[in-house]
Structure 1
Amino acid sequence: MSRLSQTQKIANWLMENPNQKFTAREIAQAIIKRYPEDYQEKRLNDRFVSEQDFIQQIVAEIGAQKDQIIKKNKKIRWQDKPKPRVYWFDDTRTMGLVNSLVADDLADIEYEADKQQQVKQAQLTEHDLYPLLIRYLASELKLYSMRIDEKRSSNRYGMNANKWLHPDIVAMEPIAETWDQLVRTCVLKGDGQSVRLWSFEVKRSMTRANVREYFFQAVSNSTWANEGYLVCTSIAGDGTEDELRMLSALHGIGVIVLNTKDLSESEILIPARAKTDIDWQTVNRLVVENGDMKEFVDLVSNYYETGRLRVKDWNK
């Protein structure tokens, strides 16, 4: 029987498997397997009807011990979004190297494949996320999207004149698409709303250190739309989500957590505060400066006039 506390067992396991993310359940199963004698007496408790009941108890304990776990080593990290929470030992010096403590496991093909997938996910750039977000918006939210490339802007007023002007993705929601033609005509003639515009700023990961900078970038380039969102693949660190909720309540920008492994599992963590009116003055500024935005507004204008959508023009 070892003399290690459960938090030390967990810390040791994470350090032996650097740069790999584990759920509480995976950690629980690993430490029970490694230290069976330490858990033998506890397992005999009558309230654990099955092995799964016992593992679930250890999972709950790991969740409650989060703060003690990360205090064991300053390189231990955790991340809440996307769910479930994961823990890892951040040792970038050993990324891609074989740790001698897990040499025996390298014969396991599934282990190696999973490790490679984790490395691949960690290497995704913001540009890699754009097509994934566009697919998510099309499949889950039924939006017609376009990428706005800031390189297509004029920059006529100098290097930083357009700083934080451009969103990464813009989208149209044709809310009248399935309406009867008579209703659509009434809406058009009566100055009703048949289209809603969305705007998205994309970041890889949000932490307490960068959350305000990223959020106000989204405020700057996305508040012109009916709905504006800050999109990321993860939210890490104490207080980061609370800070996002406070900022969203003040400024109305929503937050989407994009699950790159399974887009259907992506989550609108904080819904945007929808606005009735579009800030057309800002839209005009974007159109004047950027060719992609001009193309987007041209397609929106065409839909307003004809009510027809050509799928090949969108989601690119």
Structure 2
Amino acid sequence: MKYNFYDLAKDTLNTVKQPLSINDIWAKSVELGFAAKISITGKTPWKTLGARIYTDIKQNSDTEFIQVSKRPAKFYLKDLFLTNSYTKENSKVELSSKPSFHERDLHILLSTFVLSNPHFNCYTKTIYHEKSKKNVKGSNKWLHPDLVGIYFPFEEFQNNTLKLLEVLKENPYKLFSFEVKVEIDFSNLREYYFQAVSNSSWAHEGYLVALSINDDPALIDEIRRLNNAFGIGIIKLDLLNIEQSEILFSAKTKEFLDWETIDRLTEENKDFKQFIDDLMEDIKLGKVKSTYDKTLNADEYALYIDAKGMSANLTIPVRGVANR
């Protein structure tokens, strides 16, 4: 019989002898060589793996799998679970998916994605909170977004059209706010989400961005409720092909900007002030002349994620971004 996702999951859990999340089962199967035994056609095989296991547990009374926790969702083999064959020592197993890089290392990946994605088509600037004025401790908590972005309509409209829009008091420009994290799960979702709510109030759209988002259905449902209530969107970055990163939940677009917060950010932080100065100059010129955050072409992308230790999390060759 052809080797499949069920075999992969069983072999991985039998070898590690430790309950694992879906993402960790896949990551460990790659490390152990089991993933190489199956034919992969999609770009997110760990999602296929998760769907197979969830379905088997739900529909098959004789399933060999068992879900041993919900937050985060972890799975194990029934036989091993019943014999309690995993120990505290096993729980210290280091998974290949554990990141060795930092949140700011992801900024350039996000900048590359949002510049090429038609929903954003925006230029970004990293905001370094440490450059802000030193005020009373806690007064600036959750004030600064990680990155800010500006969409310029210069390629979409002729100059005369832009002038007419200005006369008619219609705004063709769009401001974005991004909060970037390495991983989102139940243990940090609410903290991260409300951090994004707090530091995105000034922009037309605000997003919480992560490289890894636990695929527990209960977590996705909670994100959906938060999105419906507060309007912050969710972006999942795709290391395999950054231009195929997903907007899992779209942000609610605000018609009016929070000018008080914009004014405060401009006063408090040099990076944000420079961002405002640059976009105003570019709007005045009618073209992008200022310097915004760097983006990566295909060759630079592969070198960058390798240098940052991100390529260890990849399971197939990097496609990166198109040369431009």
How many residue pairs end up in the alignment?
A: 253
CA contact (8 A) 1:199 1:228 kept: yes
The 8 Å contact of residues 12 and 25 in structure 2, kept in 1 or not, is answered as: no
Could you tell me the percent identity over the aligned residues?
A: 31
Counterpart in the other structure of 1:146: 125
Segments of structure 2 that go 5 or more residues without pairing to the other structure are 42-47, 76-85, 295-324
Contact preservation (8 Å) 1:171, 1:197: yes
Q: In 2, distance between residues paired with 1:211 and 1:176? A: 37
Q: Which has the higher helix share?
A: 1
Q: Against the structure 1 CA distance between its residues 186 and 71, is the aligned structure 2 distance closer, same or farther, given a 3 Å change threshold? A: closer
Q: Is 2:274 the partner of 1:283?
A: no
SS at match of 1:187: helix
1:222 aligns with 2:200: yes
Aligned to 2:170: 192
1:171-219: CA deviation from partner (whole Å, max 9, x where unpaired): 0011344311111111123322121000001111111221111110000
TM-score by length of 1: 0.69
Q: 1:259 to 1:61 in 2, by over 3 A?
A: closer
1:13 lines up with 2:12 in the alignment: yes
CA deviations 1:10-54 (Å, max 9, x no partner) are: 44523515885428x98xx959x8xxxxxxxxxxxxxxxxxx9xx
1: CA distance between counterparts of 2:6 and 2:69? 11
Between the aligned partners of 1:9 and 1:183, the Cα distance in structure 2 is 58
Residue number in structure 1 paired with 2:74: 77
Matched, 1:301 2:280: yes
1:144-293 counterparts in 2 under 5 A? Answer: 144-156=123-135, 158-236=136-214, 237-293=216-272
Task: Supply the RMSD in Å over aligned alpha carbons.
Answer: 3.7
Give the Cα–Cα distance (whole angstroms) in 1 for the partners of residues 169 and 13 of structure 2: 60
Question: Residue 22 of structure 1 corresponds to which residue in structure 2?
Answer: 26
> Structure 2-normalised TM-score?
0.67
Equivalent residue of 1:172, what SS?
strand
Q: Distance in 2 between the 1:73 and 1:127 partners?
A: 31
- C-alpha distance in structure 2 between counterparts of 1:255 and 1:195, whole Å: 21
CA spacing shift, 1:14–1:196, aligned 2, 3 Å: same
The answer on whether the counterparts of 2:11 and 2:34 sit within 8 Å (CA) in structure 1 is no
Counterparts in 2 of 1:48-87, with a 5 A limit? 61-65=52-56, 69-71=65-67, 77=74
Change (3 A) 1:61 1:245: closer
Indicate conservation of the 8 Å contact 2:146/2:180, yes or no: yes
Secondary structure at 2:124 match in 1: strand
Aligned in 2, Cα 1:61/1:203: closer, same or farther, shift over 3 Å? closer
- Contact kept, 8 Å, 1:201 with 1:230, in 2: the verdict is yes
Q: Describe the SS at the equivalent of 1:155.
A: coil
